[in-house]
Structure 1
Amino acid sequence: MRDQSGIPTALSIAEERLKKVYPLVVLALFGVALIVLYRQFHTLDLQAVSAAIVATGTSQMAWAIGLTAAGYITLIGYDRLALAYIGRSIPLPTVAAASFVGYAVGNTVGLSALSGGAIRYRIYSRYGLDAADIAKIALYCALAFSSGEMLSALFVTAAEPGAATMLLPLSPGVLRGLAIAALVAMLAGAFFLSIGGLSFSIGHFHFRMPEWPLLASQIVLSLADLSLASAVLYALLPPEAGISWIAFLGLFVVAVAAGVLSHVPGGAGVFEAVMAAGLAGSVPHASLAAALLLYRLVYYVLPFFCAVLLLGGMEWRRAHRPSPAIRSGLSTLTRAADIPVAAIPYVLSATAFIVGAFLTVTSLFPFRGLASSAFLETAPVEALELTAIAGGSLGMALVVLSLALGKRVREALYVTVALLVAGAVVEMVRTQSWTVAAAMLVAALACIVSRDRFDRHSRLSVDVLTPQWLMLIAGVACAGFFVLFFAHKDAAYSQELWWQFARDGHASRALRAGTVAAAVALSGILFYALRPAIGRIEAATVDDPRVAGIIAANDNADACIAFSGAKQILIGPDGRSLAMIGRHGRSLIALDDPVADDG
């Protein structure tokens, strides 16, 4: 916020300082969540978790995948209701594609630069929606989800108040009565305000309560959304879990709210910490850890990977222009969904980050239970060392490059493709996991197919040294430290560990792999930080008499914009011309042509 002279106000200065502190707060919350998880699972053996994952039944996985599909179909309703709220109509296939891709990316990554909101903007703006309309859609979806969380919490407390007694020092009967009263008051108040047509303003945006049919649909939709999402994790719990679904739903709502409020990307760590603390006495630790890992895979990673395939398929269809016979065989979604190509760099950037984080973290795990038994028993020790170090360094390099990829830098795309292919080779050699290697190769293929969308020929360091980017790298480092201490907690640390090269030297190998990965990250940060400083320019002020003289002698009324103070002013060498410029990153951008003395 600026005053009329263009000078930043105290509020704008406070906002800028808050933006700088915000990543540190988020990183601290993520660190606290990892500490809670370590205390909950520090006695757990990784082999027990692997056994629990293998023991998860096929029917459980089928239910989880089916409920996930139903949940993402339900999420389409948020966009449909939001569009109805602002009085706009967009074809259903396009809304479905925007909702699915937006939520698949937003749920997994959770950052504004890579979020579903940015993707929705690029989809809906093609249908005439401006930034204000899309802001209203985003706010409507957020409020609808928040109201669903509150209603779900009240409903659970009314149905089974026993779980709430752990948080509030009240008897179950009192809690049930308060929950019912609050539930009735909330619903009655919402419908009363809806019928009365209440409106309010936030800044420059004007909002009104939705009409009661829309409000009723919103309430049902939000309850269904949370119920289906919680049912996915509940289906993955072992049959001997000693908790009812109603009580589980209440804990799930609290965990989701904690993840959202923490602003940690995807709620990673925070959600798991709350669920682990709440279910510690009801579910065996190994089964609980396995269920949480599978839930992340099914509800977050699987839809995200499907979104990558969808965008890659759309881009391939645009590039190859298949024959009418092939086009007629495509699904309605693929034919009608008008997914803009501008969304592709965002999704591929998130893909590179996720794959990089996966490679970095898994390089720190013990080879037993991770590597194939044949490779672990027959491969030379040098090969074991090389694959561990290669996995960590390739992964961290992908993390470092991910933001440059999101900025459509062509050189970043080429390097990312090479890293993904190399990562797939490392995974095949180390784990002989065709699934993981194939996923990396598909991501590399999606990058190649979409290469025309990366049209910026710039340095890999273009505008990436930001607090948010540093937070991402620090977050991956924190996750790596967590895995290192958790997976090798039985190994007593000594200086000799660094120099032990043995087939069963898992802790030594992890230390070296982590050190190399950290060196790659540090090298990337130093490369960006030690770039030549942005040169300072000698700009004139609006009080300079030459500025007023040049503008007065010019017939263009737009030249008076210089008096607003919003732009820097450069005076020409002859003192008879000026240019209004603004700085964006490392570039100076001029506003229109220079203003010159017409006389």
Structure 2
Amino acid sequence: MGRRVRVFISLIIFTVSLLLLYNLEQEYQLSDIIKEVKGFSFVELLCTALLTVGSYSLLTLYDFIAVRNIDKEIPYRKIVPISFLGFTFSNTIGFSLLTGTSIRYKFYSELGLSGNKITQIVISCSVTFFLGLFFICGIALVCFPSEQLSALPLPTWLFSLTTVLGIGMLLSVLGYLLMSVLRKKPFNFRGFEITPPLLSVSLRQLLVSSLDWIVVGTLFYSLLPAVENLGYIQVLSIFFVANALGVLAHVPGGIGVFESVVTVALSQYLPVEQILGAIIVYRIIYYIIPFLISLAYFVITIARSNKDKIVKLNTRIAFIRQLLPPLLSISVFSSGLLLLLSVVNPSIIHKYHWLGELVPLPIIEISSIILSVSGVLLLLLSHGLFKRYHNAFELTKKLLLVGMLFIMLKGAEWEISLAIGLVYALMLPCENLFYRKGSVVGIKYSLGWLLSLSAALFLMIWVLFFSYQDVDYDHSLWFTFSPDSHVSRALRGGAIAIFIVLAFAERYFSSRTQLKSPQLDTPSLKQAMEIVAQSPSSHGYLALVQDKSILFNEDKDAFLMYARAGHCWVVMGDPIGNQHKFDDLLWQFRELCDAYDGWPVFYQVTQKYLPSSEGSPHKSAIA
């Protein structure tokens, strides 16, 4: 329940952020924003780069403090690259448990740290991050000039909560420090023992994290032009509050939420194009460039691996294999969103208005519809790629090719076509990573992915309304076809995308409620009974009920009974037959479950065979 609440809160924050941007009174154009980005001097960019180096240097101290608290032997020079990789990947890509935590586990385990110690390091880094954010943001909320936002379309009672939230954050920091003094017994977290830090360690965490946030806030302030009545403390307060809301929204780098809050708060002092220009440069220098450096370092580190250490090399290859499907999933999701936005946003079409003289109108209209369909299908298939489904992989490749072709026919948008082509090229050598079978519609979708899909649709709708906010709605717009009827094409494309999502949702929920009874043919049942007749156990006769499926080993002298219950594949009792073949049979069942993204569960396994099920990540055993 708590996870669902967090998802809905995130979606609400993201939606409100888009509504705030939509209701801005100032008008701005993409060309003006690009002009502001190009207008930054070399000295300003150099200053921003130096502050970025300072911030990431402080971030390495997060890991250093955590490692020193549990292990005194690892030198700082070995901690720096691990911390840098972990933070740049999690900051830019998001999904910190998948990116930053995985990287820390891989490299720290190679340095000899146990899983329990690595867990303590990850938790310590997370606590350090939030400790400084809560402290700085708490002070900012207490001192936040809420009257700045009084003209915005927000309820007045919301402004009075800023002080309460700020005090709550400061009290949580104080509570953590008191816990460091009073709590001596270790905590048990999911089977891991976590020792509370000493007060001196907690104070160092608070100091380092607070300094880091101040440095990053100063970095952003340096990108804004000087203006009367807008001071350093004021900008930092807005910056900290925007970051806190971005973290609460659970999106990578707070993207979208951060931009909305900062733009809304500062639009009373600066033109919107100057604010967005500063945000873009901030994103590039603080997020994109460090991530590219980190990615290059990661690849070079693997390439320089000693060829004699084959085991370690195989481990790294396996790590890359685990990392590629999520990265491709994110890339495909971004490609789908890009196609949808190209359908509802007219700015690039106007740039290539001459294309209408070369391409017939029916082709342009059809291209817009096809791009809308392709974009929303790529959004839906991206989760199938994350789950490694082969059908999703094949369909995605075809849709990317379709997108590359029709994006050119619609508006000669070669930049988008090139980006989609790059994603397609990255997918080509990765076919063997997508091995799972089954229907794409039957995939169990996570709440996080559903949140991302909802946010993408909200963004598409927002761009549609924002782009044509000066156009009066009329029913005839749906049936208008002309080279200049961009709003009509946008309306039709957006409606088609929403219709496909609704149809997919109906198909998804109906398919998940249909229970398929396993079909057990007569020869298989006869073969099973012959094995049961020679077995000392009689529970194999339960196969006669024919409510379970049977899996035989290759030699047909051992089998196990299982039934599917939702995402779980439940084995009933011990395997039956040749005991020397049980280990191979259990591994065969494990591979079968993995091929369909199922969870192997062992029910009523006896003590004798309980250790054989230890290789399964999801299991339940009742003696």
Q: CA deviation at 1:222?
A: 1.4
Letter in 1 for 2:544: P
Question: 1:401 touches 1:416 (CA, 8 Å); kept in 2?
Answer: yes
1:57 aligns with 2:28: no
1:210 to 191, 197, 201: 197
**Number of aligned positions between the proteins:** 531
Higher relative contact order by CA 8 Å / sep ≥ 6: 1 or 2? 1
Question: 1:364 touches 1:484 (CA, 8 Å); kept in 2?
Answer: yes
Aligned to 1:571: 542
Change beyond 3 A, Cα 1:135–1:225: same
Question: 1:105 touches 1:347 (CA, 8 Å); kept in 2?
Answer: no
1:283 aligns with 2:270: yes
1:34 aligns with 2:14: no
Partner of 1:588, secondary structure, is strand
Distance in 2 between the 1:84 and 1:269 partners? Answer: 36
Q: CA deviation at 1:28?
A: 2.7
Give the root-mean-square deviation of aligned CA atoms: 5.0
Letter in 2 for 1:495: H
Q: CA deviation at 1:464?
A: 3.4
Q: CA deviation at 1:511?
A: 1.0
Distance in 2 between the 1:118 and 1:50 partners? Answer: 37
Aligned to 1:347: 327
Change beyond 3 A, Cα 1:136–1:433: farther
Partner of 1:590, secondary structure, is strand
Change beyond 3 A, Cα 1:107–1:555: farther
Q: Deviations over 1:182-225 (max 9, x none)?
A: 999979994x8768884553655543343566445533431343
Distance in 2 between the 1:357 and 1:380 partners? Answer: 26
Aligned to 1:590: 571
Q: CA deviation at 1:447?
A: 2.5
Partner of 1:534, secondary structure, is coil
Q: Deviations over 1:326-362 (max 9, x none)?
A: xxxxxxxxx9999543122222222222232232223
Aligned to 1:534: 515
Change beyond 3 A, Cα 1:472–1:86: same
Distance in 2 between the 1:480 and 1:132 partners? Answer: 43
Letter in 1 for 2:14: F
Distance in 2 between the 1:105 and 1:584 partners? Answer: 36
TM-score normalised by length of structure 1: 0.70
Aligned to 2:343: 363
Question: 2:363 touches 2:409 (CA, 8 Å); kept in 1?
Answer: no
What is the 5 A alignment of 1:179-578?
190=177, 198-199=184-185, 201=187, 205-211=192-198, 214-215=201-202, 217-240=204-227, 243-264=230-251, 266-296=253-283, 299-300=286-287, 317=303, 340-368=320-348, 371-372=351-352, 374-375=354-355, 379-425=359-405, 436-461=416-441, 463-531=443-511, 533-535=514-516, 571-573=542-544
Distance in 2 between the 1:69 and 1:431 partners? Answer: 40
Change beyond 3 A, Cα 1:377–1:530: same
Q: Deviations over 1:149-175 (max 9, x none)?
A: 1333467699xx58588799xxxxxxx
Q: CA deviation at 1:478?
A: 0.8
Distance in 1 between the 2:135 and 2:545 partners? Answer: 69
Change beyond 3 A, Cα 1:188–1:38: closer
Q: Deviations over 1:88-114 (max 9, x none)?
A: 877989866654554445334545785
Give 5+ residue unaligned stretches, structure 1: 1-14, 169-178, 325-334, 539-553, 563-568
Distance in 1 between the 2:184 and 2:230 partners? Answer: 41
Partner of 1:460, secondary structure, is coil
Distance in 1 between the 2:50 and 2:317 partners? Answer: 23
Q: CA deviation at 1:484?
A: 0.8
Question: 1:114 touches 1:347 (CA, 8 Å); kept in 2?
Answer: no
Distance in 1 between the 2:6 and 2:140 partners? Answer: 33
- Tell which deviates more after alignment, 76-85 or 48-57: 48-57
Distance in 2 between the 1:368 and 1:111 partners? Answer: 32
Change beyond 3 A, Cα 1:305–1:201: same
Partner of 2:187, secondary structure, is strand
- Tell which deviates more after alignment, 250-259 or 219-228: 219-228
Aligned to 2:29: 46
TM-score normalised by length of structure 2: 0.68
Letter in 2 for 1:261: L
Distance in 2 between the 1:433 and 1:401 partners? Answer: 23
Question: 1:404 touches 1:412 (CA, 8 Å); kept in 2?
Answer: yes
Distance in 2 between the 1:382 and 1:348 partners? Answer: 33
Distance in 2 between the 1:574 and 1:82 partners? Answer: 56
Distance in 2 between the 1:570 and 1:122 partners? Answer: 46
- Tell which deviates more after alignment, 425-434 or 30-39: 425-434
Give 5+ residue unaligned stretches, structure 2: 151-165, 309-314, 520-534, 547-557, 580-623
Q: Deviations over 1:63-109 (max 9, x none)?
A: 55665565445434433433333438779898666545544453345
Question: 2:18 touches 2:462 (CA, 8 Å); kept in 1?
Answer: yes
Question: 2:336 touches 2:374 (CA, 8 Å); kept in 1?
Answer: yes
Partner of 2:134, secondary structure, is helix
1:148 aligns with 2:161: no
Distance in 1 between the 2:381 and 2:181 partners? Answer: 52
Question: 1:114 touches 1:350 (CA, 8 Å); kept in 2?
Answer: no
Distance in 2 between the 1:427 and 1:233 partners? Answer: 35
Distance in 2 between the 1:345 and 1:584 partners? Answer: 26
Partner of 1:511, secondary structure, is helix
Q: CA deviation at 1:263?
A: 3.4
Change beyond 3 A, Cα 1:353–1:195: same
Question: 1:197 touches 1:211 (CA, 8 Å); kept in 2?
Answer: no
What is the 5 A alignment of 1:163-182?
163=145
